[in-house]
Amino acid sequence: MSTPETFVVKNITAPPGRIIKVFNVQVYPGMTIDIMKITGVTEDMVRSSLLSGDLKNKIENGQLQVITHPILVASQASNRLLDIIGTSNNVRPIPIVPGRVKNLISGTPLSLFQIDLSQTFDYPDTAPDYSFGGKLFFAVECTDGYEVQVREGDVNIAAVMRGNGVISTAQAANQTGALTTGTLTTTFAWVTSGTIATLQLTATTSISSPTDFKAHYFLLHATHRGAYFSL
């Protein structure tokens, strides 16, 4: 006899909390629900919602916490996602952010994502130390319809705050490029204001009139403690 599949989540909306819906079922603050016991819900529906739907959004926004998730052992993509989501109250990882694409202007900083390093979740401890960390994978491509430039790599990223100060770092690693002409450079930097930290990319190309100049990127194994993440 096979083990019944389960996928349990908990409503962790900040006090005083609010009712949220999971597959059209109301879940009250502090309550848990086994999604697989909801009539009509299938494993494929859960996987799809985790990767690009309502469950993904509610987990990212700190409304839901995953408690158990054995239904996903057969899905490599969902396994990777839930390895990142995790189940701990103290460290709340965020899901992978796939396939982000933004237009670039040579020499002009582009904001990739922003975090608010302030207490936004109800943690068991009250220490004023909040953090964000992970790895950003990227590829920058530029063309004028004839010449082509590509640069790709990964960036280890981290930002921490204690009290009213923000300390942040960004380190690019393993960058490499392929170019038919000229140069293409990429640099990363944090810009901070109060509790807000924004990671920016500056790409500079020698192609004078690009017809297509884009940044492709995604986050992997990113965790945050008391920090709100947004693109």
The residues, ordered by sequence, that sit 6+ positions from 21 with a Cβ below 8 Å of its Cβ are 27
* Cα 130 to Cα 107: distance, rounded to the nearest angstrom: 32
> Count of CB atoms within 10 A of residue 196's CB?
15
Structure tokens at 215: 């940044």
Q: Which of 3-17, 90-104, 208-222 tops mean pLDDT?
A: 208-222
Q: Domains in the chain, start-ordered, CATH in brackets?
A: 8-87 (no CATH), 97-230 (2.60.40)
- Residue 91, classified by CB atoms within 10 Å of its CB into exposed (0-12), middle (13-18) or buried (19+), is middle
Nearest CA-CA partner of 104 in 145, 136, 143, 134: 143
CA distance 93 to 60: 9
CA angle 153, 161, 83 (to 5 degrees): 50
Query: Which two structure tokens, joined as six digits, stand for 165?
Result: 């100060």
Residue 155's nearest CA partner among 107, 203, 213 is 203
CA distance 223 to 157: 11
List helix spans (H) across 135-227.
none
pLDDT value of residue 36 = 87
Do 103 and 213 contact (CB within 8 A), yes or no? yes
Q: What is the pLDDT of residues 25-74, one digit of tens each?
A: 999 988 888 898 999 988 778 877 877 788 878 877 778 877 765 544 33
pTM: 0.57
d(CA 57, CA 84): 14
CB 172, CB 207: distance < 8 Å: no
Q: What is the pLDDT of residues 151-197, one digit of tens each?
A: 999 888 888 777 656 677 767 778 899 999 999 999 998 888 877 88
pLDDT tens digits for 2-24? 344 677 888 888 777 789 899 99
C-alpha triplet 170, 176, 178: angle, nearest 5°: 140
